[in-house]
Structure 1
Amino acid sequence: MSDAEVAGGVKSVASALDVLDCFVSDEELGVSEVARRLGVAKSTAHRLLTTLVSRGFVEQDAASGKYRLGIHLFELGQLVLQRNELRRRSTTLLEELRELSGWTVHLSIAQGADTLFLERLPTLRGMKVMREFRRRWPLHATSSGKAICAYDPEAAAARIEAGFPAFTPRTITGERAFAAELARVRSRGYATSREELMDDLASVAAPVLDLHGVAIAAISITGSVSELADARDRQVRLVTAAAKRLSQVMLTPDGAAPH
């Protein structure tokens, strides 16, 4: 494989990144599976994997011979999170929200058609109800994603183009229903999700807005359906107040909310 430029980049680098993307949905893969997914020869896939292993981006299991993502990616990922200004400025505020609400707290942004969680501050009861935590979920299935899409037309358009996969019988699965839900979010100033992603999982989220009223992130709190029903008004007040504070923080050069 040559290093010919492809769309302003380098083909071999793009191929190596494609290898890493193969592991998004699978913990371990063999050479043959990677080759099949990339549409390349096994020898090419093996060279790419060997190169990534040499730099710590991929590891090979000695017993099975299969490959998995390497610890060096974790190190780089931690640096990305530590250096992210939005996450750094929100730390104290999110800790306060978790203490006041008693729920698991998330800070998220839109990444293409998905909700990407930059931060998660868990509580024990929140961990019990959210049985599977991923950093990335489709925007239409989370309260954070709906809060962002209601105030970011580009994010909403990306989700519409990608479609609406169902996770439970309550998941939004059509463009008309999605548009109606976003209109409700804008009228209330917050979004909710009730068993749209997982059974018994409920959440409430509010957008973090920039100077032009476009969502740059969302803050959410997550618990069980019964917990949301019992204390919805209070949780809504807490999460909307936190999102407004972070919006103000992000508008100030020193990161301090104006008095």
Structure 2
Amino acid sequence: MSDSNGSAGVQSVDRALSVLSILSRAGEAGVSDIARELGVHKSTVFRLVATLEAHDMVEQHSDRGKYRLGVGVLRLAGATSARLDVVQEARPIARDLATSTGETVNLAILAETSALYVDQVAGSSSLQPHNWVGQHIPLHATSNGKVLLSELSEADCTQRLPRLTSYTPTTITSRAQLRDELARARKLGYALAVDELEIGLTAVAAPIRDAHGEVVASLSVSGPTFRIEAERIEEVLPLLMTAASTVSGRLGAAAPA
């Protein structure tokens, strides 16, 4: 390679890194914005972002045509990013899941002694769904809570749940039963709660994992028990599992073996 080709290659790398820096700072930016900041022609930026996109380092926002950092950055960093958080990444997938199932989809994270609901999308079958966003709900009485507990140590679970409060006749109140339920969730890759928090409410949840493979959130589909019976759960479950796996992938998690 000649010196001129070598210089051009170094310049391209420098510009590509500058693009990542711009997106890291701005959150998202269009080709014109990037070209103006770099002082280059838009065609040059198109080539740069195309290469970066091919390696998942950037991605294009379908609604606005702007670019933002991609999951490749997360995989290299081995950690989540403030700009690519679980709510942002899960939102479009949760919306699709609510559309395909017709039921309410919730996203929850572990918050000390409870599960915190951070997002919700109502499906077409949900006439007036309860808004769970911002609410803390019991870990042992919900499908999301069970998923979030499932890979914690028994000592950690006990510390977070000094008492297993009963909310309905079917709420788990035995340590041994909870231990068995969490083991089942680990084995199956999902958790179920039928009439455990409220009579007439059924939910099934699956874990969302980060680049380290750790459970960082839980995605659930919920609705009235009369509508989400065993046969219906069998229909919803593969859609839920695929959605949770997709969000995990966007957070840098490796694809399931």
The answer, yes or no, to whether TM exceeds 0.5 is yes
Shift of 1:123: 3.4
Does structure 1 conserve the Cα–Cα contact (< 8 Å) formed by 2:164 and 2:173? yes
Equivalent-residue separation in structure 2 for 1:147 and 1:169 (angstroms)? 21
CA distance in 2, matches of 1:136, 1:102: 24
Aligned to 1:152: 152
Letter aligned with residue 235 of structure 2: R
Could you tell me which residue of structure 1 aligns to residue 239 of structure 2? 238
The residue correspondences of 1:1-259 to structure 2 (distance < 5 A) are: 85-123=85-123, 125-126=125-126, 130=130, 135-153=135-153, 156-160=157-161, 162-229=162-229, 230-251=231-252
* More deviation, 126-135/174-183: 126-135
Contact 2:102–2:124, Cα closer than 8 Å, also in 1: no
SS in 1 for 2:217: strand
Q: 1:102-160: per-residue Cα shift (whole Å, max 9, x none)?
A: 00000000101101000011236446575987611111111001011112337634433
Alpha-carbon distance in 1 for matches of 2:90, 2:145? 18
Query: 2: CA distance between counterparts of 1:129 and 1:89?
Result: 23
Task: Output the CA distance in 1 between the equivalents of 2:94 and 2:156.
Answer: 24
TM, length-normalised to structure 1: 0.60
* Aligned residue-pair number: 172
Query: Is 1:129–1:200's contact at 8 Å kept on the other side of the alignment?
Result: no
Report Cα offsets for 1:135-194 as digits up to 9, x if no partner: 11111111001011112337634433x311111011011211110100111111100000
How far 1:241 moved relative to its partner? Answer: 0.9
Q: 8 Å contact 2:200–2:225 — kept in the other structure?
A: yes
Q: Distance in 1 between matches of 2:251 and 2:212?
A: 13
Taking the aligned partners of 1:238 and 1:117, their CA distance within structure 2 comes to 20
Q: Which whole-Å CA distance do the structure 2 matches of 1:94 and 1:155 have between them?
A: 29
Is contact 2:120-2:131 (8 Å) kept?
no
The answer for unaligned runs of 5 or more in structure 2 is 1-81
The structure whose RCO (Cα within 8 Å, separation 6+) is larger is 2
Question: In structure 2, what is the Cα distance between the partners aligned to 1:158 and 1:112?
Answer: 9
CA separation of 1:132 and 1:166: change in aligned 2, threshold 3 A: farther
Change (3 A) 1:123 1:99: closer
Identify the residue that residue 45 of structure 2 maps to in structure 1.
Answer: none
Q: What stretches of structure 1 of length at least 5 have no aligned partner?
A: 1-81
| Aligned residues of 1:129 and 1:224 also touching (Cα < 8 A) | no
Task: Call closer, same or farther: CA 1:241–1:214 in 2, change over 3 Å.
Answer: same
**Structure 2 CA distance, aligned partners of 1:250 and 1:182?**
24
Output the CA distance in 2 between the equivalents of 1:181 and 1:122.
27
Hey, which of these two has a bigger chunk of helix by percent? 1
| Corresponding letter in the other structure for 1:145 | G
Shift of 1:91: 1.2
CA contact (8 A) 2:117 2:133 kept: no
Residue 97 of structure 1 contacts residue 242 of structure 1 at CA under 8 Å; is this kept in 2? yes
Aligned counterparts of 2:165 and 2:190: Cα–Cα separation in 1? 23
Counterpart of 2:245, as a letter, is K
Distance 2:214 2:83 in 1: 23
Task: Measure, in 1, the Cα distance between the counterparts of 2:206 and 2:128.
Answer: 23
Kindly state the Cα deviation for residue 212 of structure 1 after the two structures are TM-superposed: 3.8
Alignment-mate amino acid for residue 152 of structure 1? L
Change (3 A) 1:158 1:237: farther
Q: 1:155 to 1:209 in 2, by over 3 A?
A: farther
CA RMSD of aligned residues (A): 2.6
* Percent identity of paired positions between Structure 1 and Structure 2: 28
**Contact 1:104 1:127 (C-alpha < 8 Å) held by counterparts:** no
